[in-house]
Structure 1
Amino acid sequence: MPQPSRRVSGIIPSGKDGWELHFAAWQRRQAGEEILMLSAGDHDFDSPGETVEACIRHLREGRHHYTPLPGFPRLRAAMAEVSTRCTGVRTAPDEVIATPGGQLALFAALQGVLDPGDHGIVVAPYYATYPGTFRAAGARFTEVEARAEDGFQPDLDAIAAAIEPTTRVILINSPNNPTGAVYSRESLEGLAELCRRHDLWLVSDEVYWSLTGEAQHLSPRALPGMAERTLVVNSMSKSHGMTGWRIGWLTGPAEQIRLLVSLNLVTTYGLADFVSRAAIEALEGGFGLDQIATTYAARRQAFLDAISPYPEIVVRGSKGGIYAMLDITAATPDCEAFAWKLLEAEKIAVMPGASFGDAARGHIRVSLCQPEDLLADAARRIGALVRDWASR
Structure 2
Amino acid sequence: MPFPSSRISGIVPSGKDGWEIHFAAWNRKQAGEDIIMLSVGDHDFDTPSETVEACVRAVRGGHHHYTQLPGIPALREAMAKVSTRTTGVPTSADQVLATPGGQAALYAAVQGTLDPGDHAVVVAPYYATYPGTFRAAGADFTVVEAAAEDGFQPRASEIEKALMKNSKAILLNTPNNPTGAVYSRASLEAIADLCRRRDLWLMSDEVYWTLGGGEHISPRALEGMAERTLVINSMSKSHGMTGWRIGWLTGPVDFITLLISLNLVSTYGINDFISHAAAEALNSDFGVERIAALYAGRRKVFLEAIRGINNIVVRGSEGGMYAMLDVRAIEPDSEKFAWSLLAAENVAVMPGASFGDAAEGHIRISLCQPDDVLKDAANRLRRFASSYGSKAA
Shorter-chain TM-score above 0.5: yes
Alpha-carbon separation, structure 2, partners of 1:238 and 1:331: 32
Alpha-carbon separation, structure 1, partners of 2:15 and 2:359: 20
The answer for the alignment partner of 1:203 in structure 2 is 203
The superposition leaves residues 108-159 of structure 1 with CA deviations (integer Å, 9 ceiling, x where unpaired) of 0011111111000000110011011101111000001111111111122211
The answer for the alignment partner of 2:170 in structure 1 is 170
CA RMSD of aligned residues (A): 1.1
Task: Give unpaired runs (5+ residues) of structure 2.
Answer: none
Alpha-carbon separation, structure 2, partners of 1:274 and 1:302: 38
**C-alpha contact 2:102 2:233 (8 A) present in aligned 1:** yes
The superposition leaves residues 11-40 of structure 1 with CA deviations (integer Å, 9 ceiling, x where unpaired) of 111333221111100000011101000000
The question of 1:73 aligning with 2:89 is answered no
* Aligned-pair CA distance for 1:283: 0.5
The answer for the alignment partner of 2:289 in structure 1 is 290
Alpha-carbon separation, structure 2, partners of 1:286 and 1:128: 28
- Alignment identity in percent? 69
The superposition leaves residues 278-310 of structure 1 with CA deviations (integer Å, 9 ceiling, x where unpaired) of 001101111011110000000000001111122
Alpha-carbon separation, structure 1, partners of 2:230 and 2:145: 22
Alpha-carbon separation, structure 2, partners of 1:29 and 1:140: 38
TM-score, with normalisation over the residues of structure 1? 0.98
The answer for the alignment partner of 2:256 in structure 1 is 257
The answer for the alignment partner of 1:142 in structure 2 is 142
**C-alpha contact 1:330 1:386 (8 A) present in aligned 2:** no
Alpha-carbon separation, structure 2, partners of 1:370 and 1:346: 17
The answer for the alignment partner of 2:88 in structure 1 is 88
Alpha-carbon separation, structure 2, partners of 1:32 and 1:302: 27
The question of 1:122 aligning with 2:122 is answered yes
Alpha-carbon separation, structure 2, partners of 1:226 and 1:14: 36
**C-alpha contact 1:312 1:387 (8 A) present in aligned 2:** no
* Aligned-pair CA distance for 1:390: 5.2
**C-alpha contact 2:97 2:256 (8 A) present in aligned 1:** yes
Q: Which moved more, 1:371-380 or 1:356-365?
A: 371-380
Q: How does 1:335-374 map to 2 (within 5 A)?
A: 335-374=334-373
Look up the equivalent residue of 2:174 and give its one-letter code.
Answer: S
Look up the equivalent residue of 1:54 and give its one-letter code.
Answer: A
Alpha-carbon separation, structure 1, partners of 2:15 and 2:96: 37
* C-alpha spacing 1:330/1:384, structure 2 compared with 1 (3 Å): farther
Look up the equivalent residue of 1:77 and give its one-letter code.
Answer: E
The answer for the alignment partner of 1:326 in structure 2 is 325
Alpha-carbon separation, structure 1, partners of 2:327 and 2:91: 43
Find the residue that maps to 2:39 and give its secondary structure: coil
The answer for the alignment partner of 1:157 in structure 2 is 157
**C-alpha contact 2:310 2:385 (8 A) present in aligned 1:** no
**C-alpha contact 2:36 2:348 (8 A) present in aligned 1:** yes
Look up the equivalent residue of 1:258 and give its one-letter code.
Answer: T
TM-score, with normalisation over the residues of structure 2? 0.97
Look up the equivalent residue of 2:78 and give its one-letter code.
Answer: A
Find the residue that maps to 1:389 and give its secondary structure: helix
Alignment: residue pair count:
391
Look up the equivalent residue of 2:297 and give its one-letter code.
Answer: A
The answer for the alignment partner of 2:19 in structure 1 is 19
